[in-house]
Amino acid sequence: MKILGIDDSFAVNELLDTVLNGSGHNFMYVDNGQEGLKLIRSQKFDIVLLDLTMPEFSGVDVIHALKKENIMDKQKIIIFTALSNIKQEIKELMELGVNSYIEKPIDVDALLEKVDSFG
């Protein structure tokens, strides 16, 4: 699968790169929401892995932009969050079209299981 990661953490991106490319997926990443949004507009990805908390242009901003541009329903999005106390926000994002979420720190096995379930 062709997967885009949008996360401002170099360590997370490197982990995802190793795990996903090592599992036979075509994974690429950017470290900010604006670059990720540009890529989503110009290419088709099977899955977008999106960090909610990034400076300047957050994952929530990406989701709202995709919704406004009627692109949201064309993407499978899994959000990452380090904040376990934002269940209401996750519920609202799921209602906007987010497909799933994973809490940080990322459990690699759970991630692969989720990614593979979309294949």
Domain count, the chain: 1
Structure-block tokens of residue 118 = 């979309």
What is the CATH number for 108? 3.40.50.2300
- Write the pLDDT tens digit of every residue in 39-94: 999 999 999 999 998 999 999 999 999 999 999 988 999 999 877 657 788 889 99
Domain of 45 in residue numbering reads as 2-113
- Which of 47-51, 79-83, 101-105, 115-119 has the lowest average pLDDT? 79-83
Closest by CA position to 49, among listed 69, 33, 67? 33
Whole-prediction pTM: 0.94
Percentage of residues in the chain having pLDDT higher than 90: 84
Neighbours of 117 (CB within 10 A): 9
The residue to which tokens 């490197």 are assigned: 14
